């Protein structure tokens, strides 16, 4: 199992912005500056930011954008399948649309993407087994891992655990 790094820097920024614009047009959405920037921000990080964090990052380029505009655009992007919303005590957003799972640190709350043996094709086999065992029609699934990240363990915070979300 490996943590998936994700960074968009320098010359790749223009390509990422063009990809966001194409995704918005492909979904039939109007291309606005705030909408493209919200999508750019979510796609450019693997930190799974909150709406408030996304707002702060978007404001670096569009200082007058409101938090309400960010929330409206996030709802639209989630509804169109361009961004995933991660449930929990505070909603977080993920621009990685590939099938993957998450690790959440119980001490600091950091969420990291996890790739490994539970992804395709193993995941398909698990979904098939769940579906056939109960006659279910599985539309999607989520597998989450909880524990303590390396930084928190180094700081000695590996013992004070918050309860994982339901």
Arch. (CATH architecture) of 2-94: Orthogonal Bundle (1.10)
pLDDT bucket at 5, cuts 50 / 70 / 90: very low
Residue 93: per-residue pLDDT = 97
pLDDT tens digits for range 128-139: 888 899 889 988
CA distances for 25 relative to 11, 31, 78, angstroms: 22, 7, 15
Which of 11, 12, 31 is CA-nearest to residue 21?
Answer: 31
CATH of domain 101-154: 3.30.1490.190
Q: Do domains 2-94 and 101-154 have the same CATH topology?
A: no
pLDDT tens digits for range 30-42: 889 999 999 999 9
Helix then strand then coil, in percent of the chain rounded to 5, is 40, 15, 45
Residue ranges of the domains in the chain? 2-94, 101-154
- Size of the chain, expressed as the number of residues it contains: 166
Residue 93 dihedral angles phi and psi, to the nearest 5°: -125, 145
pLDDT bucket at 18, cuts 50 / 70 / 90: confident
């Amino acid at each position: 199992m490996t943590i998936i790094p994700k960074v968009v820097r320098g010359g790749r920024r223009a390509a990422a912005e063009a990809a966001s614009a194409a995704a918005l047009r492909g979904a039939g959405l109007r291309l606005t500056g705030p909408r493209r920037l919200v999508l750019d921000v979510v796609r450019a990080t693997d930190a799974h930011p909150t709406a408030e964090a996304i707002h702060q990052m978007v404001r670096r380029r569009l200082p007058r954008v409101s938090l309400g505009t960010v929330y409206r655009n996030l709802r639209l992007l989630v509804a169109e399948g361009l961004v995933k919303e991660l449930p929990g005590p505070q909603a977080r957003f993920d621009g990685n649309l590939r099938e993957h799972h998450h690790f959440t640190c119980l001490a600091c709350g950091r969420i990291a993407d996890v790739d490994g043996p539970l992804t395709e094709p193993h995941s398909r086999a698990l979904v098939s087994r769940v579906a056939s065992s109960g006659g279910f029609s599985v539309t999607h699934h989520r597998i989450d891992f909880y524990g303590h990240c390396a930084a928190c363990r180094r700081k000695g915070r590996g013992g004070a655990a918050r309860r994982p979300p339901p």
